[in-house]
Amino acid sequence: MPAVPGHAPTTRPDLADWLRIPRPAADPGIWRLGHRARPEEEPDRIPARRLFAGAVIALLSGWLLWSLLWNGYLGTYWIWPLLVLTPDSWRSDPPVWAAASYTYYAIVGGGMLVFFARIGHVPEIWRRYARREGRPVAPPPPPAGADPAEWPELRAAGLADAAHRLTEATRAGALHDVDYARIRRAWQGVRARPDLLASFADTVRAHGPAACAHPSGVRDLSVRAATHDLATAQVRIGTAADDPRNPYARRTTGVALDPTLLGTSLLAVGPSGSGKSVRLVRPVVESMCLLALANRAAVVAVTAHGAQLAPDDAFDLVISVGRPESTHDLDLYGGADDPDEAARTLAEALVGDLAATLPGGDSRRAATALAQLIGPYHAVHGHFPAVPELRELLGGTPAAVAGLRTALTAQGAPGAALLRELDARERQSARADDIGILLAERIAFLDRPAFTRFFRTDGAGRQFSLRAIEHPLRVRVDLPERGHAEASRILARLILAQFTEAALGRRDRSLFAALVLDDATSTVTADSVRAIQRLRSANAGAVLALRTLEDVPEPLRGPLLGAVGCRMAFAGLAPWDGNRFAETWGTEWVQTRDVTNRQIISDEPLTKAVHLMRRLVTGKAATAEAVTVREVERARWSASDLAHLVPAGHAVLSLTTVRGEHTPPLLVDLRT
């Protein structure tokens, strides 16, 4: 993986110029900053050789005609308008007549030049090679009173002092794009609650560009590896390739992601080294961190230790599971108070990947077994059991179960219902197919010496709960994949389950909540697929990166592709994975043209000369064409095309917004 840049890019424009660049409304996924719309249909493009040859011949013909007129070989009738439109007195005054004559000659010559230039397609040459269609639009001077760098909305609301403070900070370079996005976010909150207007004005006057700061006080990232536009919350990930498979209107346009797209969740599949982490995950994580600093998002990034999706200072909290330098612990129960809720998420983490093979077809039995133990334990101790205690209870250790029973009995009537739960667990543990045995085996992966100081429940450590995504937090969780692969998969499933539970249970959904799994191997379960579908209604989304769909249970591969709104297939995809994407993207009706050419052979000298001239100009022999046009149905991207025709550094991407707008699969160059 390439090293993270050691400094911020120096190509970012001045904030005032950046604000004045137009951002026209566009289809989903188009990089809007300076976007220039292209025609929907490709115009009939003349080949370059014919284009330049025709221009030269047309201009030479115009020159020949002008020479014939000027030297009088075609008579003087073309001067007749000059004689008719000028008085006779002008012709007796040589200076006046000379000025009138040369003016007339310039008009006639200019008209002939324009006429023959249009015949020779000179404007097409200018558009194609000089002006360059699709070039980004430079900032236009803003109209008076509408310069976004002068904060006209604040002035219109009577906050002239606050607007003046921000304008001066913009001109002095003290206000950056993150500050702009953060203050704009606060202003939107003021518009929703006018009672905050005075407080907002006082804060801006007092703190200027640092007003409404992120809880950490940080106002920007030390390093940016991608191109961002915080005015539209977009991050650019590439350019739509100039390829016939892409719609003409999308070719050469920038491709970007934003919360309206990530809110439908994104699945990226590609082998190692195809660019998932460098060209997708890293820009998305960086964008979410910037939006969090603007108080507009919360992000949890899960990766292997040492992957370096972003530097440590880009996050408010870095949890390195199993490493002594980690300052925080991961809450095993996700901050839940209800034993049933805590048991449900923990069961998903422990046996969610085996749910299809369990009796009953899901993890409900596992959740019930866990609830029968952690409920009584919570009633006795005031907190849920830590990993060692839970392992003993699941394994049926006599001392642990007896101690819990004695404490419940001492509680009298309040503990009677929980004693029945404990009795039921003991009866079930006597069965040969008891789920507790499997749960004890799985929890043992977390009961290792490296995790001794982690997953504590007695309040001694500093624990992080996924319920904190109600705040604009930037969190990275590093998993110990190298030494504890199975434990890492359990924790990844646990984080995914807790994130979906927390996102769906938020009271305030104004912040966009994002979960990014750099490696989602063995994390996709039947329950997680259903939960991912519901995230779009909770202003949240997940980004899942996989090396292959083979890492997903076979019955869940189709439902997973259907649950996410954004799908991305990287170069080097296996044919069997490509077949799944091809089925999901479906087919389209296309028009095919079968052209049959027959060379024209003539014995007449004049015709031969004409054909020779045509061959010199066009580079082709004179032919007669027979064209057959048909409408056929074909796959947008076949499995073979995805496996063999996607160039290195490219990916095929389809997008869907939370409002239901969608784009067909596009071939994207991720290197530009």
Each residue's pLDDT tens digit, 148-194: 889 999 999 999 999 999 999 999 989 999 999 999 999 999 988 89
Structure tokens at 447: 């009961």
Same domain, 512 and 612: no
Same domain, 528 and 660: yes
Query: Rounded to whole angstroms, how far apart are CA atoms 301 and 322?
Result: 17
Q: Among 451, 484, 508, give the residue marking a domain's end.
A: 451
> Mean pLDDT across the chain, nearest whole number?
88
- Is 530 domain-assigned? yes
C-alpha distances in Å from residue 372, one per residue of 185, 310, 395? 46, 42, 13
Same domain, 284 and 352: no
Q: What percent of the chain clears pLDDT 70, i.e. is strictly above it?
A: 95
Please report the DSSP string for 36-71 in residue order: ----SS---PPPHHHHHHHHHHHHHHHHHHHHHHHT
Same domain, 355 and 402: yes
Same domain, 515 and 656: yes
Q: Among 131, 152, 167, give the residue marking a domain's end.
A: 131
Q: Name residues whose C-beta falls within 8 Å of residue 376's C-beta, 6 or more positions apart in sequence.
A: 404, 408, 415, 418, 419, 421, 422
Q: Where are the alpha helices (DSSP H) in 274-319?
A: 276, 282-293
- Is 659 domain-assigned? yes
CB 547 within 8 A of CB 618: no
Same domain, 579 and 599: no
Give 208's pLDDT tier (boundaries 50, 70, 90): very high
- Is 111 domain-assigned? yes
At 655-671, the pLDDT tens digits run: 999 999 999 999 999 99
Query: Rounded to whole angstroms, how far apart are CA atoms 491 and 302?
Result: 10
Please give the backbone phi and psi of residue 542, each rounded to the nearest 5 degrees, phi first.
Answer: -125, 145
Same domain, 564 and 611: no
CB 32 within 8 A of CB 251: no
| CB neighbour burial string for 548-581, b if at least 16 within 10 angstroms, e if fewer | ebeebbeebbeebbebbbbbbbbbbbbeebbbbb
| CB neighbour burial string for 314-338, b if at least 16 within 10 angstroms, e if fewer | bbbbbbbbbeeebebbbbbbbbbee
609 vs 511: which has the higher pLDDT: 511
Query: Rounded to whole angstroms, how far apart are CA atoms 71 and 60?
Result: 16
Q: Among 131, 151, 174, give the residue marking a domain's end.
A: 131
- Is 218 domain-assigned? no
Query: Rounded to whole angstroms, how far apart are CA atoms 395 and 392?
Result: 5
- Is 289 domain-assigned? yes
| CA proximity to 79, closest of 91, 95, 89 | 91
Same domain, 320 and 348: no
Structure tokens at 568: 């991305």
Q: Is 662 exposed, middle or buried (0-12, 13-18, 19+ CB in 10 A)?
A: middle
Cβ–Cβ contacts within 10 Å for residue 153, how many? 13
Please give the backbone phi and psi of residue 491, each rounded to the nearest 5 degrees, phi first.
Answer: -65, -35
Phi-psi map region of 227: left, alpha, beta (phi>0 left; psi -120 to 50 alpha): beta
At 538-567, the pLDDT tens digits run: 999 999 999 999 999 999 999 999 999 999
At 230-286, the pLDDT tens digits run: 999 999 999 999 998 999 999 999 999 999 999 999 999 999 999 999 999 999 999
User: Angle at Cα 132 formed by Cα 128 and Cα 133, nearest 5°?
Assistant: 90
Structural domain count, the chain: 4
| CA proximity to 416, closest of 364, 366, 375 | 375
pLDDT at 44: 67
Same domain, 289 and 355: no
Please report the DSSP string for 445-510 in residue order: TT-SGGGTTSS--SS-S-EE-GGGGGS--EEEEEE-TTT-HHHHHHHHHHHHHHHHHHHHT-S---
- Is 227 domain-assigned? no
Average pLDDT (652-656) is: 97
pLDDT at 663: 94
Structure tokens at 643: 């496996």
Q: Whole domain around residue 409: which residue ranges?
A: 339-451
Same domain, 440 and 520: no
CATH of the domain at 519: 3.40.50.300
- Is 182 domain-assigned? no
Structure tokens at 370: 């866990």
Give 453's pLDDT tier (boundaries 50, 70, 90): confident
At 511-544, the pLDDT tens digits run: 999 999 999 998 999 999 999 999 999 999 999 9
Same domain, 662 and 524: yes
Q: What percent of the chain clears pLDDT 90, i.e. is strictly above it?
A: 57
Same domain, 552 and 473: yes
137, pLDDT greater than 70: no
- Is 528 domain-assigned? yes
